[in-house]
């Protein structure tokens, strides 16, 4: 996936502005927590059937960029 931001949304009106999978209230944080708790891709896709693997990978790429601290993100208003 070239532009993972096609799958991530930051909107102050959705989940208090936390980054989420577009069109959902599933936060990037929740995806990371699930993986940290031992879930795998199939577990997540089963738990959240309305997202796809590209959305999960986008969450990881977003988190990596955010931790790198070199990128800014536009917030929808």
**Confidence band for 75, pLDDT divided at 50, 70 and 90:** confident
Q: What is the pTM of this model?
A: 0.84
Angle at 5 between CA 23 and CA 45, to 5 degrees: 55
Q: What are phi and psi of 53, to 5 degrees?
A: -60, -35
Q: pLDDT by residue (tens digit) across 36-59? A: 999 999 999 999 999 999 999 999
Range of the domain at 12: 4-68
User: In the structure encoding, which two tokens stand for residue 2, read together?
Assistant: 């070239």
Would residue 24 count as lying in a domain? yes
* Residue 61 counted as domain residue: yes
| Other residues' Cβ atoms within 10 Å of the Cβ of residue 74 | 7
76 domain-assigned: no
Judge contact between 77 and 12, C-beta under 8 A. Answer: yes
CB 28 within 8 A of CB 59: yes
Our count of domains for the chain comes to 1
Please report whether residue 26 resides in a domain: yes
41 inside domain: yes
CATH number of the domain to which 34 belongs: 1.10.10.10
| Domain-located, residue 74 | no
């Amino acid at each position: 996936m070239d532009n993972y931001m096609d799958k991530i949304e930051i909107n102050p009106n959705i989940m208090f502005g936390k980054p989420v999978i577009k069109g959902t209230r599933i936060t990037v944080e929740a995806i990371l927590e699930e993986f940290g708790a031992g879930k795998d891709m199939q577990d997540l896709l089963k738990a959240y059937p309305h997202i796809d693997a590209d959305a999960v990978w986008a969450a990881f790429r977003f988190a990596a960029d955010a931790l790198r601290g070199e990128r800014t993100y536009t917030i929808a208003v």
